[in-house]
A and B are shown apart, each in its own frame.
Chain A
Amino acid sequence: MARLQLSGLTKTYGDFHAVAGIDLDIAQGELVVMLGPSGCGKTTTLRMVAGFVPPTAGRIRLGGHDITKRPSWRRNTGLVFQSYALFPHLTAAENVGFGLRMRKLSQATIAAKVAEALRLVRLEGLADRLPRELSGGQQQRVALARALVIAPDVLLLDEPLSNLDAKLRAEVRVEIRELQRKLGLTTIMVTHDQEEALTMADRLVVMSHGKVQQIGSQRDLYEHPANTFVAGFVGRTNFLRGRVESPGLFRSQSGLAIRCSKAAPSAGGTLALRPERLSMAPAVSAADNAFPGTVEFASYLGGILEYYVRLTPQDRLLVQVPNRVGDPLHEVGDRVFLQWPAQASLVLADDGGSTS
């Protein structure tokens, strides 16, 4: 049975649907990342699971028990706040021990568990420091230890890396992931940073305007996005508007006849092309799709090369090619042929109002 089940979870404020019905089953030990732009409802969902926001409709089940109506202090969830929310008048050790004191454990047990938790997040020497005497990264680790030490049924992370500088972020996300795996904690993480999400998740839930757009693994979302929003939000994509003229043929608004998979949905109005699926050739070849274009912008990024190639007055596509020894380096103004296989043409339905 799933460890955490959200069924039809909804939150409305008057006419505004902050969360419009989420169904999600999370297995024991799984790290699910809710990904989306600000205002998409991911944080509201997290706060409903934590017990700070009463749902308008729907159910939350934890380990089989319905906790929807339970107040926050009677759910065994551990929340790490974006601002860390450390108690400023308590030392790091006292902060970490707070949840244990609320559970009325013995002093000796608390001391032992606090020491263990601080060791897990590598803060052993700083137990007696006050939050204002700690760096941002150290405060975050105290917040993490404080949530972990109570052995929560679900660990909730609210944009845990957003207040850290870039270099620290890359290290800390790996640390958190390893810690989570080691302890086997069922975890929900909320973020707007897709790189973070892709690195850490077992599964991703992409949200927009309160609705779940797609749930799946990194590969599912990248290679088979459900709509234009997911395609645009996870990784970079080129979009061409138009329609499916006949099975296997997509006619763009600018007039290009593009071959796509015969199974493409006929209601699709947008064609998505991943930049790394496109390649550049000096002359027409036998590829499914080959169009002449002009290089308008070139970036040398070391391991990869990026080009913006204009095919028509309306269509300029981003192309990404690996920088292989022997391959030509194109320059602005070069005339090239852009080519790609039919399977790379993803025909998508619109999500009803975001990317183009």
Chain B
Amino acid sequence: MLPDAASSVEGALPLEPASASFVDSRLIGRIALLAAAAFGYAVILAPLIFVCWLSFFSNEIVTFPPSGYTLRWFARIFDQNNFVSGFATSLQVGVAATIGGLLLGIPASLTLARRRFPGREALNTLLVLPLVVPGIVAGTAIYVFQIEIEIATELPLLGSRAGLVLAHIMITIPWTVRLLTASIAGFDRSIEEAALNLGATPLQAFLKATLPVIKPGIVAAALFSFVISFGNLEMTLFLVAPGQTTLPIAILQYLEWRIDPTIAAVSLLQIVLIAGGMLIADRYVKLTRVL
């Protein structure tokens, strides 16, 4: 840019663009949009951030502003039998539900994605229904169902670990199937045929050609299932046996007779666990594609 070019030339154009007011209004629009987005984020994240912050406050009775910070609430978690056993149960149920969900979900998505058969659309809808049923309704219904089965068959289903895992599989299957189907949709079937042509039996073709390609979908489905199962409260409330507890239930029970930052500490740990799971899952399958 030539210095002072405009001022030394007669009849020169002004240096500001003629559409100055237009640029201004575009800028105002951008700022307004950003402000609205920031407000939305604030409303959603403020409680979470506050809880996390609270877990470090040193006073047992929460005052604001805090008089100091400490880590002792995290240590207290491990003194509480309920939290420890609740975490163990949630972990076990989560893993079992994830594995069960995958064993059912992988063949289901492969079939749904590839074959046309009568009732395909109905099956698709059926597999999504658990998302629509409110947790308490599901919990009550399954509870009653388990009672009936136990009466009819003498199987000790009520309050059993197996019964709980089955119920958790039911709520994670919709996610498993959706994530897997999204992953399979981009999969070229002729890859399997190529494997067969080169001498692989159908099982070998599945293990060596199909599975490695849909692996990202499987990982994402597994992580997401685990997260859903771990965090479930309303349905699980109905299905745990007396004395048995999961982490969300333990948190709820603690809150009934005490409010101190221990609860915030447990929540922070759970948030970290779940957020970590979602972030890792997102690396394998873009969750925005599915949600």
Contact = CB atoms under 8 A, between A and B. Distances in A.
Interface of A: 50-52, 71-74, 77-79, 81, 83, 85-89, 98-99, 102-103, 146, 150
B193 A150 contact: no
B196 A52 contact: yes
B103 interface: no
Given A81-B190, A85-B190, A72 B212 contact: no
Contacts of B208: 98
B194 A81 contact: yes
A102 B205 CA distance: 10
Contact of A85 (B194, B200, B202, B204): B194
Given A81-B190, A83-B188, A89 B212 contact: yes
B183 to A, nearest CB: 13
Interface size class of B (residues with CB under 8 A): 10 to 19
Nearest to A79: B197
A102 B200 contact: yes
B194 A150 contact: no
B198 A146 contact: yes
A87 B199 contact: no
A50 B193 CA distance: 10
B214 to A, nearest CB: 10
Nearest to A75: B197
A83 B200 CA distance: 19
B278 interface: no
A20 to B, nearest CB: 24
Contacts of A98: 195, 198, 200, 208
Given A83-B188, A85-B188, A78 B213 contact: no
Interface in B195-233: 195-202, 204-205, 208-209, 212-213
A79 B190 CA distance: 11
B198 A88 contact: no
B194 A79 contact: yes
Central interface residue in A72, A77, A78, A81, by most chain B CB within 10 Å: A72
A282 B197 CA distance: 62
B199 A73 contact: yes
Given A88-B213, A89-B212, A102 B191 contact: no
Nearest to B199: A102
A73 B201 contact: yes
A186 to B, nearest CB: 16
A72 B200 CA distance: 9
A81 B199 CA distance: 16
Interface centre among A74, A77, A85 (most CB of B within 10 A): A85
Contact of A73 (B188, B200, B213): B200
B194 A102 contact: no
Contacts of B194: 79, 81, 85-87, 146
